[in-house]
Amino acid sequence: MTYERLTLRYAIISTLFLGLAGIEGLLMRVQLVNIPLFDFEHYYAMLTVHPFVGIYGWAYLGVIGAFYYLVPKLLNKPLYSLKLADVNLWTFVAGVLIVWSSGLLTKFGSLYTLYWPLPVERFPPNSVVFFSSGLLLIELSVLLFIFNIFATVFSRKGESSGKTFKSLLLSAFGLEGLSQRFSMALSKLGVKSSKRMLNGGSGSNPQPMPVFVVAVMRGSVDAVLNALVLAGAGGLLLAFSLPALLAGVMLNPLIVDPLVYKNVFWWGLDMIADGDVLIWVAGALYLLAPLLTNRKLYAEDVVRKVILADLLISMGVWSHHLMSDLPQPSFMRLISGQFITWGEFFTMGLTFFAVLMTVWLARPVKLTMPLKFMLGGIFGFMLGGGSGLLQANYALNLVMHNTQWVPGFHIHQMVLVGLGGVIFAVIYALLPMLTGTELKSQKLSNLHFWLWMIGGVGMAFSMGLAWTPGMLRRTLYPDTTIYLPYMSSAMFFGILLAIGFLAFIINLVHTYGLRTLVGLFIPQRKTKP
């Protein structure tokens, strides 16, 4: 197994999951224009698995595959375990497929929010056990990935040989500056150990790691917390559903407080949306911008501080999901829900400014495919992030919460246009490094870019505008026609997205050949003539 082969495997599986999430999305769009393809139970089961396939199957696998290649390369030392990284892929795939099957076979339809006590109150124990097993496997896979990355960063091989753990820890999290300032302050106070603290005990100043690696490490803290909380939710579901399944014992679900559960759940879940995504995306942009423009990143010292701020902010914003839970204390909704969320406006604002200034100062730049997707991704994050700030508002949430504004203007804008743009930028940048060949057809690549961007923005706006005549999210309106123009428009743009995605797939197959792509999954010795 080589790094290239491993990352390509991740990329292909991730792309297949994107296709699956897209098919689900289109089928649900058909239902939303009042063509009843499914009964309500099946529809909501699909709506439940859709984000798991999209976020864990597509985005997480795409990101993890890229990190397994880039982190060792940038640190100039081997990955802790390539074999574990390969096993990690299959545990992830198994987890996502189990969750997906729980929807298909048992119609588990509690939505990704898993609001307590909905799963155990409305769905049969066998479906809850089925779903929870998949969820636990996914979270275990996230932890395996983090372990492998941490073990790599902290290993004393290659350029890190001779360094102390403390020195590696400080530079991995970008804390050298803070450590030095702290030691100087101690030195002024006459504390003798300051020199040792200054250099981490290694005898030399800790060398800063690339800002991309610092972002990976800081985002990983959020990923661990997220995995632990979601695994905890999965464990709670099992604790209630297994006794019911095995012994017919029904525990009273209201012994778990729904508001406390909701706070803990959103604190953990938001570590993805407001932690991983923003920090890892920022890291990817800090890597891409200099690489694509051949210029040093603008204001690198500031962006290092920005991703540390992002890590702290991500731990305090969860109440923006509880703005409409009026038993939640007002100060929590106002401070955690609104004011701390605005911290992301500054961190992402400074991130985008640094990246755009890097591109601007490098003029004239060639608009390559990765650069186009990177700029498109920033555009998507600006639109989706701005709409998120409007709904995370003490006053405005009252008329926006759970309306189509949220999945339209915010979620799909962020995920498809923002995150999708950055992930495709990384794919287009990495493919030549991994394979030695660029995608053959520039026309198909351009078609992919424009249809993805127009389709993504168009679908997000069509959905979001359905908020004005009061259309809710998570709600079917089989007897109502007033939302049909919005949903028809969303479907049209969804089809554009799908055509753009197909252009990418055709280009991949046309360039590398189906046999080569499938051959990546066959053990190497069997492929030798």
Separation between Cα atoms, residue 12 and residue 69, nearest integer Å: 15
- Which residue's CB is nearer to other proteins, number 121 or number 159? 121
- Which residue's CB is nearer to other proteins, number 339 or number 521? 339
Separation between Cα atoms, residue 131 and residue 171, nearest integer Å: 40
- Which residue's CB is nearer to other proteins, number 40 or number 165? 40
User: What end-to-end distance do the CA atoms of the chain give, in Å?
Assistant: 18
Any contact of residue 302 with other proteins (CB under 8 A)? yes
- Rounded least distance, CB 471 to other proteins, Å: 8
Any contact of residue 345 with other proteins (CB under 8 A)? yes
Any contact of residue 128 with other proteins (CB under 8 A)? no
Separation between Cα atoms, residue 354 and residue 378, nearest integer Å: 12
Identify the residue whose tokens are 């609104």: 338
- Which residue's CB is nearer to other proteins, number 41 or number 159? 41
Site string for other proteins, 256-295 (x = CB under 8 A): -xxx--x---------------------------------
Separation between Cα atoms, residue 304 and residue 45, nearest integer Å: 41
- Which residue's CB is nearer to other proteins, number 228 or number 357? 357
Specify the DSSP class assigned to residue 392.
Answer: S
Any contact of residue 351 with other proteins (CB under 8 A)? no
Any contact of residue 403 with other proteins (CB under 8 A)? yes
- Which residue's CB is nearer to other proteins, number 433 or number 482? 482
Question: Which of 338, 351, 445, 489 touches other proteins by CB under 8 A?
Answer: 338
- Which residue's CB is nearer to other proteins, number 48 or number 132? 48
For residue 11, the number of C-alpha atoms closer than 13 Å in the C-beta half-sphere is 26
Distances (CA, A) of 46 to 40, 42, 138, 383: 10, 6, 18, 27
- Rounded least distance, CB 406 to other proteins, Å: 11
- Rounded least distance, CB 182 to other proteins, Å: 21
Question: Which of 118, 315, 454, 505 touches other proteins by CB under 8 A?
Answer: 118
C-alpha torsion angle, residues 140, 144, 150, 151 (rounded to 10) = 140
Separation between Cα atoms, residue 114 and residue 237, nearest integer Å: 9
Q: In sequence order, what are the residues at sequence separation of 6 or more whose Cβ sits closer than 8 angstroms to the Cβ of residue 16? A: none
Range in contact with other proteins (rule: CB under 8 A) among 4-12, 182-190, 348-356, 457-465: 348-356
- Which residue's CB is nearer to other proteins, number 264 or number 517? 264
Identify the residue whose tokens are 């985005």: 59
Q: Would you tell me how many other CB atoms lie within 10 Å of the CB of residue 243?
A: 14
Question: Which of 254, 433, 514, 518 touches other proteins by CB under 8 A?
Answer: 254
Any contact of residue 329 with other proteins (CB under 8 A)? no
Q: In sequence order, what are the residues at sequence separation of 6 or more whose Cβ sits closer than 8 angstroms to the Cβ of residue 326? A: none
- Rounded least distance, CB 391 to other proteins, Å: 11
- Which residue's CB is nearer to other proteins, number 299 or number 502? 299
- Which residue's CB is nearer to other proteins, number 486 or number 504? 486
Question: Which of 40, 90, 165, 331 touches other proteins by CB under 8 A?
Answer: 40
Site string for other proteins, 444-483 (x = CB under 8 A): -----------------------xxxxxx-xxxxx---x-
Any contact of residue 206 with other proteins (CB under 8 A)? no
| Largest interatomic CA distance in the chain | 77
Any contact of residue 105 with other proteins (CB under 8 A)? no
* Among candidate residues 512, 373, 344, 466, the one with its CA nearest the CA of residue 33: 466
Peptide bond connecting 364 to the previous residue in cis, omega within 30 degrees of 0? yes
* Among candidate residues 71, 96, 88, the one with its CA nearest the CA of residue 3: 71
Distances (CA, A) of 520 to 16, 63, 501, 513: 14, 19, 21, 11
Under 8 Å between Cβ of 20 and 71: no
Site string for other proteins, 353-372 (x = CB under 8 A): xx--x---------------
Separation between Cα atoms, residue 482 and residue 485, nearest integer Å: 7
Any contact of residue 122 with other proteins (CB under 8 A)? yes
Range in contact with other proteins (rule: CB under 8 A) among 68-76, 109-117, 134-142, 230-238: 109-117
* Among candidate residues 481, 486, 332, the one with its CA nearest the CA of residue 405: 486
Under 8 Å between Cβ of 153 and 213: yes
Any contact of residue 30 with other proteins (CB under 8 A)? no
Any contact of residue 23 with other proteins (CB under 8 A)? no
Under 8 Å between Cβ of 53 and 20: yes
Question: Which of 162, 349, 432, 513 touches other proteins by CB under 8 A?
Answer: 349
Positions in the binding site for other proteins (CB under 8 A): 40-41, 43-44, 107, 109, 111, 113, 115-118, 121-122, 254, 257-259, 262, 298-299, 302, 322, 324-327, 338-339, 342, 345-346, 349-350, 353-354, 357, 389, 393-396, 398-399, 401-403, 467-472, 474-478, 482
